[in-house]
Structure 1
Amino acid sequence: MAGNTSKITKRSLNAYLEELEQKIARLQKNDREPIPLSPEYHEDRSPRSNGQNDAPELSQPSPMDEKDDSHLQQELEDPASSLTNPLSTGPPAFMSAENGRTFYLGTSSNWSFTRRVLSLTHEHIYQESLPTGALAFDGAIYDLGWGGLRTPNRADIPTVPSFDHAMYLINTVKFRCGQLYHLFDETEFMAGLHDFYSRPRSTTPGGLWYIHFLLMLAFGKGFVQHKMQGNKPPGGEFFIRALQLLPDISVLHQEPIESTEILCCIALFLQALDYRSSAHNYIGSAMRMAMAEGMHTQMPIEYLGEHTVQRCRKIWWTVYILDREMTSLMGLPQSISDSHVDALLPDFPGSMQRTAGINMHIKLSRIIAEISGTVYAIDGRLNRNFLLRTKSALASIARLADELHDTFPLHLDRTSSGVSRTAAYLHLLYHQCIVVATRPLLFCFLKIRFESPENCLDALSTSRNVRNLIQMCLESSQQMINILHCLQSEDLLETFLSFDLESIFVSTVALLMAPAIDSRWSYPAWLEKAYTIFEEIIESGNLIAKFRRSELQLLDELLSCFPQESSRCLSAPVSFPNMGNNNNISLQLASSFPPSTSAGNPLAHDMLSDPGLSLDDECGLTMGLTAAQIMAVADSIESIDSEWMSNAMIEHSIW
């Protein structure tokens, strides 16, 4: 342990080591009974009302287990190994909707994170569970008006638009998402379109092409139709008709290439309607169908032909990206390892920028998977490994920073040209990676603030490195708002697909939490910008944005009930294990946390005190942090910070 660790913690460690020695002695006597840890290490570290459970016990060794020695050695070396990330540890977290249906709160999910913060805050303020009647749950916002039956009423079959109208809708789809995702093969699809409109309208349409066509009409309507009819989604009638005609999966496998494209379209449309679980299932089916056809491999052009191979490459990387992003948004484990993927990038003759865009999109998707699998790993350790995993994730992000800025400059000042929609999307995804990787610290310190307001600022101010990580989270949140504000000024906000809404939702949650932890992290001007962006998305007919905004307003109201500058009388006393009657609690807490040890790094100092890094200066946000600056923060995370994190979790009774 570090030399500045408190004596209290050392006494706990000595007791723990003595217990391990007793276990070894008993094992040597062939005592096969499990030996429980002392009550001190079984203690519930967080209020029951917060849904947290006891830290998982260290597994009990058996004399017949060949791994006894290494396991006990691991316990001896890492006495904080029972500490875990509250967002991914122990028994899974669930929340029930008003109708009684229970939903799993995934670990890296933005949706789940907000509900955890809402629950934590509501339980602290009112000492009771959060009512869920006003919250939006999966698939509850839009009404598709379909019970799942394949046979429609004749009156429900939508009228196909004229050829000119259909061309307008399809071209809108190409412009709005064709640069990011491959949804159809233009040569084959347009040939089918001309063939369809050349036939007499009395001809009964059928086949996969027609289903594909209906899905494109649904997307087109979603992009252009802003007038709502109750809670029916725009384009819903075409989407439902496509699902009614969709064959069984065993039939889809007979035409796997177009079927995979269709499954991608269905998944993306459902994601736009907040049917996240269904979208995840459909993209999972697309992933397995693509793999069954070998699309994840280097498909031989000499055997399959140039056109087929290029089409399959476009399909594969669309499936890959959507699968990783949707899985992360669900907070679930990723489905495929990159070690099994060998596909090449598709060629876009005359458009190197499109190839570069897909390449960057893939890299960002891989970082998303890395964050989900490390920072949010099941039973993810919130001890020395947590900050080291955060450091690794930030290093991966930093490696993309300069490439992203050089290849896809944003031009947010708009002096030379307008904002590129593709560049904006990639930068938004990049900053989401930073926020998702660092926001567990926001959650931890919000909980510390609730449980021990008189000591939170003292504890936070003692580790500049950890504070800089939180500051980085907030800076990226403001970067996202800045990018979206520029898109808004050019009428380029995406109001149907979910990626702009996801960005503004993620960033606003972080900026609402921050001042409750430290009043210096208060940015009302940025929150005002965020709500104007919400307003525009809502005015464009997006019902999901309306519910998301109401949840954020609820969080804002709850947090405003908690004093920022002074202590409050808690309903129950805060427990500091082993503190006894020592009156100098703040001093002891401060002595267990490290000072910054990275002199010379650009961000080793307190970011709050540097006017050159003022986050209220919009011009200062044009470029964002460079690769060198991000790496400086990551490199500043050393073992002393890792021990600080372990001690903070113990001393503040996080869980």
Structure 2
Amino acid sequence: MAGNTSRVTKRSLNACTRCRRQKIKCSGLQPCDSCNKRKLTCIFDDREQKILVTKGYLDELQQKLARLQRNDNDEPVPLSPEYGEAISPGLKDHNDAPDITQSSPNDKEDVQSNQDIQQELEDPASGLTNPLSTGPPAFMSAENGRTFYLGTSSNWSFTRRVLSLTHEFIYQEALPTGALAFDGATYDLGWDGLRTPQRPDIPTVPTFDHAMYLINTVKFRCGQLYHLFDEAEFMGGLHDFYSRSKPNATSSLWYIHFLLMLAFGKGFVQHKLQGNKPPGAEFFVKALQLLPDISVLHQEPIESTEIMCCIALYLQALDCRSSAHNYIGSAMRMAMAEGMHTQMPVEYLGEDLVQRCRKIWWTVYILDREMTSLMGLPQSVSDDHINTLLPAFPGSAQRTAGINMNIKISRIIAEISSAVYAIDGRLNRNFLLRTKSALASIARLADGLHEGFPLHLDRSMDGVSRTSAYLHLLYHRCIVLATRPLLFCFLKIRFESPEHCLEALNTSRNVRNLIQMCIDSSQQMINILHSLQSEDLLETFLPFDLESVFVSTVVLLMAPAIDARWSYPAWLEKAYLIFEEIIDNGNLIAKFRRSELQLLDELLSCFPQDNSRCLSAPISFPTSILNNPHTSVQLASSFPPSAHALGNDLLTDPGPTNDDEYNLTSGLTAAQIMAVADSIESIDTEWMSNAMIQHSIW
């Protein structure tokens, strides 16, 4: 009969952290059965265990606490004269050091345990890393033999890494670079770089009316967010120049500035190219040939800084990213040498000069932040050293607000570059926590951006504001920049272990939500650009609209390779329509970018999937379709919702459920972004660590 007695399972005296959180039975083993089955890190928190100690030991601890409290009450904590740090009482003198010989063994074990945990979190050698910013620096050689550094946060570098990873997986060989466009290789300025030209050609300047048209075009395209010239001084020089019976070329800084404005104006209005020569090249080259050496430019630093901003922005438009970064860096240093980053005294310098310097400084600051990020390089100037005020625009408070919002987004770009893309940035714990911090910073801007700069994408009231569109595009690019390293990681996991990729991804809803957020922002950027295209406001010369559609399309091509449910062929068609528009307006860079995306699409289509995408080449729609308002509405309503597709996940918008209504929104709210950020907990970092170890991503 004894053998027939039912056995009673003894409950474990302790449960691991995960089982306790989910309120499930824990085996008590190390690792426990549940964590071992799911291949998760099993952690037991010893602080929850019940232990027996003597009353004398508790009395001794209470006496130590009372002595420490008396010391704190009797003596104020002094400050170190050198660093201003608090010095603990009793440590001011070696003879007053507290007696640690009486500390219990348990105290020592606690201290050692805390030190081990701290070392585990801080020691880069003990952790995993962001594959985009760790290990040996990445380089790629062009067909001419020149080698280029692949910056960590660069959009250009990111696409090269994805292309290389995919090509090497499919063909087991390195990606050929002959068909890829590299820095400064798209356009030909027809200049060897010498300051003294072989033929002293003077470009024919347009008539006064034509020049005014080109300059006003530059003001409309750039003037709301960038300060490229002082209107009073520049227009005074313009009238003086054309008041002569026969305007002649001069070597003055004003004339150089004037040539740059003509180059920009031609870039905005001229859409027919002569071979691979960019519009306005003759004016731009002559300006560079006449530009004095930097040692001479310092004699007139105010206008010289404006000129270098113009040169940097024009070079960026030609995809000469490295040269543009060097010029904006020179402008930054010249501006700082003049104290523009400080609160310049109005009573000493005058209101007009101070206001001009503030406009120059924040233009340099914004361009430097963005160009540095596009290069994938560390930011060179800390915000701790900047205390200048915003410029004032009488009668245009919205313009000041726009610059203020642009500055805030530029600071987030710098934060993401220094945190998420930090050297040897760890992917298991610090990486996700840094991503959480970056998303929290982004979320703080969301409501202010939507309220202060509404988009009106439905066009029911007003047209789309070019300034609002630019700020929203930059905002969504921040979200993509912060979250796309996860997309890269899971693409690698998919290549290495396709049968386990979805199982691993579905294990953490929070990590999946981060990737969905990246996809959603990509869709929102395409939606904004499509609205600009419909109103003929798409920027086809400056590079920033092209950068947005390029970044978005890469994400939408990668996503279905990881999970077929993330396939949005209609959004890809919409993106290719935008590419076609930019290409038709004479932008050769867009042509190369689209060909790279087509190559990536073809490579990813070679990888077996459960549900292959239908789109492997761009689909062109006649222009008449976009110009027809009824057809345009039907086309827009055919695109699937973005975050609305998340069902009951954290990104779900409790608002309208109609797809058409949702497509007219401007993206995630601050509450939605914060919900995703706040959801990142230790269990996600544990899961991430396990996934990275399994697939050797570091």
Normalising by the smaller structure, the TM-score range is 0.7 to 0.9
- Asked whether the equivalents of residues 607 and 613 of structure 1 are also in contact (C-alpha less than 8 Å), the reply is no
2:579 equivalent among 534, 558, 562: 534
Residues in 2 aligned to 1:190 and 1:442: alpha-carbon distance in whole angstroms: 50
Determine the structure 1 residue equivalent to 2:667: 624
Shift of 1:201: 2.5
Shift of 1:69: 12
3-state DSSP of counterpart to 1:520: helix
Determine the structure 2 residue equivalent to 1:160: 205
Q: Evaluate the alpha carbon distance shift between residue 608 and residue 619 of structure 1 in structure 2; reply closer, same or farther with a 3 A threshold.
A: closer
Is 2:129 the counterpart of 1:84?
Answer: yes
Determine the structure 1 residue equivalent to 2:697: 654
Counterparts of 1:235-250 in structure 2 under 5 Å? 235-250=280-295
Determine the structure 2 residue equivalent to 1:219: 264
Is 2:678 the counterpart of 1:635?
Answer: yes
Q: Evaluate the alpha carbon distance shift between residue 604 and residue 90 of structure 1 in structure 2; reply closer, same or farther with a 3 A threshold.
A: farther
Determine the structure 1 residue equivalent to 2:216: 171
Residues in 2 aligned to 1:615 and 1:625: alpha-carbon distance in whole angstroms: 16
Shift of 1:612: 7.2
- Asked whether the equivalents of residues 95 and 102 of structure 1 are also in contact (C-alpha less than 8 Å), the reply is yes
- Asked whether the equivalents of residues 17 and 43 of structure 2 are also in contact (C-alpha less than 8 Å), the reply is no
Q: Evaluate the alpha carbon distance shift between residue 604 and residue 76 of structure 1 in structure 2; reply closer, same or farther with a 3 A threshold.
A: farther
3-state DSSP of counterpart to 1:95: strand
1:392 maps to a residue whose letter is: S
Counterparts of 1:395-406 in structure 2 under 5 Å? 395-406=440-451
Residues in 1 aligned to 2:590 and 2:657: alpha-carbon distance in whole angstroms: 29
Range that drifts further, 200-209 or 405-414: 200-209
3-state DSSP of counterpart to 1:419: coil
Is 2:262 the counterpart of 1:262?
Answer: no
- Asked whether the equivalents of residues 479 and 621 of structure 1 are also in contact (C-alpha less than 8 Å), the reply is no
Determine the structure 2 residue equivalent to 1:6: 36
1:629 maps to a residue whose letter is: Q
Q: Evaluate the alpha carbon distance shift between residue 413 and residue 73 of structure 1 in structure 2; reply closer, same or farther with a 3 A threshold.
A: closer
Shift of 1:611: 9.9
Determine the structure 2 residue equivalent to 1:436: 481
3-state DSSP of counterpart to 2:256: helix
- Asked whether the equivalents of residues 297 and 342 of structure 1 are also in contact (C-alpha less than 8 Å), the reply is yes
Residues in 2 aligned to 1:303 and 1:130: alpha-carbon distance in whole angstroms: 60
2:670 maps to a residue whose letter is: A
Residues in 1 aligned to 2:411 and 2:322: alpha-carbon distance in whole angstroms: 21
Shift of 1:256: 0.3
2:393 maps to a residue whose letter is: F
Shift of 1:515: 0.3
Residues in 2 aligned to 1:281 and 1:312: alpha-carbon distance in whole angstroms: 21
1:541 maps to a residue whose letter is: G
Q: Evaluate the alpha carbon distance shift between residue 99 and residue 12 of structure 1 in structure 2; reply closer, same or farther with a 3 A threshold.
A: farther
Shift of 1:6: 3.5
Q: Evaluate the alpha carbon distance shift between residue 231 and residue 616 of structure 1 in structure 2; reply closer, same or farther with a 3 A threshold.
A: farther
3-state DSSP of counterpart to 1:103: strand
Is 2:365 the counterpart of 1:365?
Answer: no
Shift of 1:642: 1.2
3-state DSSP of counterpart to 2:410: helix
Determine the structure 2 residue equivalent to 1:45: none
Determine the structure 2 residue equivalent to 1:321: 366
- Asked whether the equivalents of residues 106 and 112 of structure 1 are also in contact (C-alpha less than 8 Å), the reply is yes
Determine the structure 2 residue equivalent to 1:374: 419
Shift of 1:149: 0.7
3-state DSSP of counterpart to 2:140: strand
Determine the structure 1 residue equivalent to 2:345: 300
Is 2:149 the counterpart of 1:104?
Answer: yes
Is 2:148 the counterpart of 1:118?
Answer: no
Q: Evaluate the alpha carbon distance shift between residue 367 and residue 539 of structure 1 in structure 2; reply closer, same or farther with a 3 A threshold.
A: same
Task: Pick the structure with greater CA Rg.
Answer: 2
- Asked whether the equivalents of residues 217 and 235 of structure 1 are also in contact (C-alpha less than 8 Å), the reply is yes
3-state DSSP of counterpart to 2:430: helix
Residues in 2 aligned to 1:556 and 1:501: alpha-carbon distance in whole angstroms: 18
3-state DSSP of counterpart to 2:378: coil
- Asked whether the equivalents of residues 179 and 422 of structure 1 are also in contact (C-alpha less than 8 Å), the reply is yes
Determine the structure 1 residue equivalent to 2:190: 145
- Asked whether the equivalents of residues 532 and 538 of structure 2 are also in contact (C-alpha less than 8 Å), the reply is yes
2:453 equivalent among 399, 405, 408: 408
Residues in 1 aligned to 2:547 and 2:658: alpha-carbon distance in whole angstroms: 21
- Asked whether the equivalents of residues 35 and 42 of structure 2 are also in contact (C-alpha less than 8 Å), the reply is no
TM-score (norm 2): 0.78
Is 2:687 the counterpart of 1:644?
Answer: yes
Q: Evaluate the alpha carbon distance shift between residue 566 and residue 226 of structure 1 in structure 2; reply closer, same or farther with a 3 A threshold.
A: closer
Counterparts of 1:401-550 in structure 2 under 5 Å? 401-550=446-595
Q: Evaluate the alpha carbon distance shift between residue 467 and residue 10 of structure 1 in structure 2; reply closer, same or farther with a 3 A threshold.
A: closer
RMSD (Å), alpha carbons: 2.5
- Asked whether the equivalents of residues 355 and 392 of structure 2 are also in contact (C-alpha less than 8 Å), the reply is yes
Residues in 2 aligned to 1:102 and 1:305: alpha-carbon distance in whole angstroms: 49
Residues in 2 aligned to 1:566 and 1:512: alpha-carbon distance in whole angstroms: 14
Determine the structure 1 residue equivalent to 2:181: 136
Q: Evaluate the alpha carbon distance shift between residue 11 and residue 398 of structure 1 in structure 2; reply closer, same or farther with a 3 A threshold.
A: closer
Shift of 1:619: 3.3
Shift of 1:90: 1.3
Unaligned runs of 5+ in 1: 15-67, 568-601
TM-score (norm 1): 0.83
Per-residue Cα deviation, 1:90-127 (whole angstroms, up to 9, x for no partner): 11000000000000000000000000000000001111
1:390 equivalent among 414, 422, 435: 435
Range that drifts further, 539-548 or 608-617: 608-617
Shift of 1:378: 1.2
3-state DSSP of counterpart to 1:234: coil
Range that drifts further, 622-631 or 253-262: 622-631
3-state DSSP of counterpart to 2:565: coil
Is 2:649 the counterpart of 1:606?
Answer: yes
Per-residue Cα deviation, 1:336-395 (whole angstroms, up to 9, x for no partner): 110000010000000000000000000000000000000001111112010110000000
Range that drifts further, 155-164 or 74-83: 74-83
Residues in 2 aligned to 1:8 and 1:627: alpha-carbon distance in whole angstroms: 33
Per-residue Cα deviation, 1:149-187 (whole angstroms, up to 9, x for no partner): 111244643111111111110000000110010000000
Q: Evaluate the alpha carbon distance shift between residue 558 and residue 106 of structure 1 in structure 2; reply closer, same or farther with a 3 A threshold.
A: same
Is 2:320 the counterpart of 1:309?
Answer: no
Shift of 1:617: 5.2
1:6 maps to a residue whose letter is: N
Determine the structure 1 residue equivalent to 2:399: 354
Q: Which has the higher contact order (CA 8 A, sep 6+)?
A: 1
Per-residue Cα deviation, 1:423-452 (whole angstroms, up to 9, x for no partner): 000000000000110000100000000000
3-state DSSP of counterpart to 2:671: helix
Unaligned runs of 5+ in 2: 1-15, 19-33, 45-111, 613-644
Shift of 1:230: 0.4
Q: Evaluate the alpha carbon distance shift between residue 604 and residue 376 of structure 1 in structure 2; reply closer, same or farther with a 3 A threshold.
A: farther
Per-residue Cα deviation, 1:604-655 (whole angstroms, up to 9, x for no partner): 9436998979897573452311101110000000111111111110122224
Residues in 1 aligned to 2:647 and 2:343: alpha-carbon distance in whole angstroms: 45
How many positions carry a matched residue from both structures? 568
- Asked whether the equivalents of residues 215 and 261 of structure 2 are also in contact (C-alpha less than 8 Å), the reply is yes
Residues in 2 aligned to 1:610 and 1:313: alpha-carbon distance in whole angstroms: 40
- Asked whether the equivalents of residues 345 and 359 of structure 1 are also in contact (C-alpha less than 8 Å), the reply is yes
Q: Evaluate the alpha carbon distance shift between residue 340 and residue 609 of structure 1 in structure 2; reply closer, same or farther with a 3 A threshold.
A: closer
- Asked whether the equivalents of residues 604 and 632 of structure 1 are also in contact (C-alpha less than 8 Å), the reply is no
The percent of aligned pairs where both chains have the same amino acid is: 82
